[in-house]
Amino acid sequence: MAKTLPKVDIVTVGVGWVGGIIAAELTKKGYKVVGIERGRERSTSDYFFGHDELRYSERYELMTDISKDTVSIRHNMKQRALPMREWGSFLIGDGVGGSANHWSGSVTRFLPYDFEIYSQTVDRYGKAKIPQDMTVQDWGITYEELEKYYQMWEATSGISGEENPHPGLPKFKWPTKPMMMTPIMELFKKAALDLKMHPYISGSANLSEIYTNPDGMTINACQYCGFCERFGCEYGAKSDPTITVVPVAKKTGNYEIRTHSVVRRVLHKDGKATGVSYINTLTGEEFIQPAEVVVLSAWTFGNVKILLNSKLGRPYDPTTGQGVIGKNYTYQSTAGKSTAFFDQQFNLYAGTGALAMAADDFNGDLFDHSELNFIHGGQIKLSAKGDLPIKTNNVPDGTPGWGREFKEKSLEYTNKSIAIGASASCMPNRYNYLDLDPTYRDAYGDPILRMTFNWTDQDRNLVKFLGEKTAAVAKQMGAKEVKQGGKLKDYDSTSYQSTHNVGGAIMGADPETSALNNYLQMWDCENVFVPGANAFPHNSATNPTGTVAALAYRAAEGIEKYLKTGGPLV
């Protein structure tokens, strides 16, 4: 029998960026917040032995224990979905701070075009430009409306970067100066300028200098140690919730975090949530936490799974196109990457997760798509993350995968091979969606989430185009050999691509076609807010964290309004 606890103002399901932002903003206003987190407490003191590639990068130290909960995967509705048994194409973290403990720290804002993608595409190219099953839609919010929330989070995190010089994009400055420029970034910059592109040092949550944020929290300067993405930062130099919003919320005395606790259901009655039920995985005890407002702040998959298992909102049905929970699951392809091989040796072991030079010339609708067989685009980017020896063994095309020649070539090209990356936007498709798996269960007896997803012609055409662009940059940089990317086959859950899984409980202007209004409040349940990447109706080309965080600040404002006035906010 579950024990019912005293009611609080707000309960958040998960304590990552979203849970932390909601907690900081609302505890500062005097509201009582409880954060329920499935993982453990985490802090910089966990990372004294952090420079361990095997433990963190290969064995996924900071990722959720997938033995307890996973997703099942299939390419289409005819196939049997089978569970992802080990981590692969994406890596989801847990513990206080969530996936932000191991993130690279790459920060962007989505493009103004993203938020009005349907209207702008129809305006510029006509309705026929959008293929029949591409369920692309406007977000119900504009860039201008979201801008102040972007700024709030960037100030909290102290993001470092250079102003984006592209004439087609809004001008804004980051709170701290750009990261250092490495020789390969200089090479990329020169090549991109030669090709009439607009390169810039992109936004980074690994900070260029020591920074104190508006809440008085200090974030340290990055040491470029090379152990960043998939690792925690022992210096406290990579902005994450454990060094920003979480301690700010704790300091108010209005915040309590319960770790090792897995939420199974949002409890609701007569169209309103009453709280959540959860299990403490250390003691096995079950609890009910009543609350005025429930915020789902887990990963995309966790949020959608809890909604479906709670029977909250209308589940999406791809055969009719009706319903919203599970709709418009999208991802991001990195297959447009080309690899450049040089004679010269660079210090590629040095670097950090978000140290990069990017160009948006082939992103969004910043180029003409009239003669192209896709919409949107991708970002071209050269990263200096720090090459690690198990992971980075680049060899030119035609080299065997093991043995003498592989050894010699992989050694020769260490510190001499550079990836020119391209992350592609991903448009929704009627048949790419999330629902509950009919067979497989998590460790607590609940159905796991089922992903039905494959790349579409839109993705394949776009990625091929990006492969040509990245190869051109590589050649312009003076590479003696280029391995051109751009081939996108069936979605492969086994090889890492990105942890940018979005959609499934999307925002919009119409309750018929979206789950959430533009305050991230559920249309069908006014005291439930779901401000994660699940809210994206499609995926833009770049890293989603800035937009997730901006939506969280927007939701925090909405929750405060709701607690004062009640009712639907839109």
Partner 1 sequence: MGDEKQAKSNSRREFLKNSGLAIGGLVVGGVVGGALMGKNGQQPAVQEHEHAAATTAENYNQALMFFNQEQFKIAEAAAEVIFPKTESGPGAKELLVAYYMDHQLGGAYGLNTKEYMSGPFYFAEAVPEQGYQTHLNRQQIFLLGLEALNAEAAKRFSTKEKADVKFYDLTEEQQIEILKDVEDDKVKLNGAANASMFFDLLKGLTMEGVYADPMYGGNKDMAGWKMKNFPGHQMNYTKVVTSKEFVKMDPQSLHSQHKQ
Tell me the catalytic residues.
500
Chain positions 489 to 518 lying near partner 1, rule: CB under 8 A, are 490-494
- Considering the rule CB under 8 A, would residue 226 count as an interface residue with partner 1? yes
Instruction: Pick one of 59, 148, 272, 480: the residue that binds partner 1 (CB under 8 A).
Output: 59
Min separation Cβ 505 and partner 1, Å: 24
What is the residue whose two structure tokens read 């020591």? 210
> Total binding residues for partner 1 by CB under 8 A?
76
- Of 69-77, 170-178, 334-342, 429-437, the window that binds partner 1 (rule: CB under 8 A) is 69-77
- Considering the rule CB under 8 A, would residue 209 count as an interface residue with partner 1? yes
- Considering the rule CB under 8 A, would residue 233 count as an interface residue with partner 1? yes
- Considering the rule CB under 8 A, would residue 122 count as an interface residue with partner 1? no
Instruction: Pick one of 2, 4, 40, 67: the residue that binds partner 1 (CB under 8 A).
Output: 67
Spatial separation of the C-alpha atoms in residues 553 and 544, rounded to whole Å: 15
Instruction: Pick one of 277, 393, 399, 461: the residue that binds partner 1 (CB under 8 A).
Output: 393
- Considering the rule CB under 8 A, would residue 51 count as an interface residue with partner 1? yes
- Of 102-110, 153-161, 179-187, 329-337, the window that binds partner 1 (rule: CB under 8 A) is 179-187
Instruction: Pick one of 106, 156, 164, 220: the residue that binds partner 1 (CB under 8 A).
Output: 220
Output the six-digit token pair for 224: 């470029």
Spatial separation of the C-alpha atoms in residues 52 and 231, rounded to whole Å: 9
CB-based contact 34:263 (threshold 8 Å): no
Instruction: Pick one of 389, 478, 566, 568: the residue that binds partner 1 (CB under 8 A).
Output: 389
CB-based contact 181:199 (threshold 8 Å): no
3-state SS class at 304: helix
Angle (nearest 5°) at CA 84 between 79 and 87: 145
Chain positions 81 to 120 lying near partner 1, rule: CB under 8 A, are 82-86, 88
Site string for partner 1, 341-380 (x = CB under 8 A): ----xxx-xxx---x-------------------------
88 or 175: whose CB is closer to partner 1?
A: 88
- Considering the rule CB under 8 A, would residue 335 count as an interface residue with partner 1? no
Instruction: Pick one of 44, 135, 156, 425: the residue that binds partner 1 (CB under 8 A).
Output: 44
Min separation Cβ 294 and partner 1, Å: 28
389 or 566: whose CB is closer to partner 1?
A: 389
- Of 96-104, 396-404, 456-464, 533-541, the window that binds partner 1 (rule: CB under 8 A) is 396-404
DSSP for 114-177, please give it: HHTHHHHHHHHH-GGGS-TT------SS-HHHHHHHHHHHHHHHT-B------TTS-----SBP
Min separation Cβ 437 and partner 1, Å: 11
Question: What is Dmax (Cα atoms) for the chain?
Answer: 71
- Considering the rule CB under 8 A, would residue 66 count as an interface residue with partner 1? yes
Spatial separation of the C-alpha atoms in residues 361 and 366, rounded to whole Å: 6
Contact residues for 250 (Cβ-Cβ < 8 A; gap 6+): 257
Spatial separation of the C-alpha atoms in residues 492 and 459, rounded to whole Å: 14
- Considering the rule CB under 8 A, would residue 262 count as an interface residue with partner 1? no
Sign of the Cα torsion 180, 184, 190, 195 reads: negative
Chain positions 14 to 43 lying near partner 1, rule: CB under 8 A, are 43
Instruction: Pick one of 2, 4, 40, 58: the residue that binds partner 1 (CB under 8 A).
Output: 58
- Considering the rule CB under 8 A, would residue 401 count as an interface residue with partner 1? yes
CB-based contact 158:207 (threshold 8 Å): yes
Name which of 189, 228, 221 is nearest 207 in CA terms. Answer: 221
Output the six-digit token pair for 434: 């999330």
Instruction: Pick one of 2, 77, 193, 210: the residue that binds partner 1 (CB under 8 A).
Output: 210
- Considering the rule CB under 8 A, would residue 283 count as an interface residue with partner 1? no
What is the residue whose two structure tokens read 């896709």? 374
CB-based contact 542:166 (threshold 8 Å): no
80 or 171: whose CB is closer to partner 1?
A: 80
3-state SS class at 33: strand
Instruction: Pick one of 79, 119, 142, 322: the residue that binds partner 1 (CB under 8 A).
Output: 79
- How far is residue 1 from each of residues 4, 277, 323, 441, 446, measured CA to CA in Å? 9, 11, 34, 21, 17
Chain positions 436 to 455 lying near partner 1, rule: CB under 8 A, are 439-441
Min separation Cβ 349 and partner 1, Å: 6
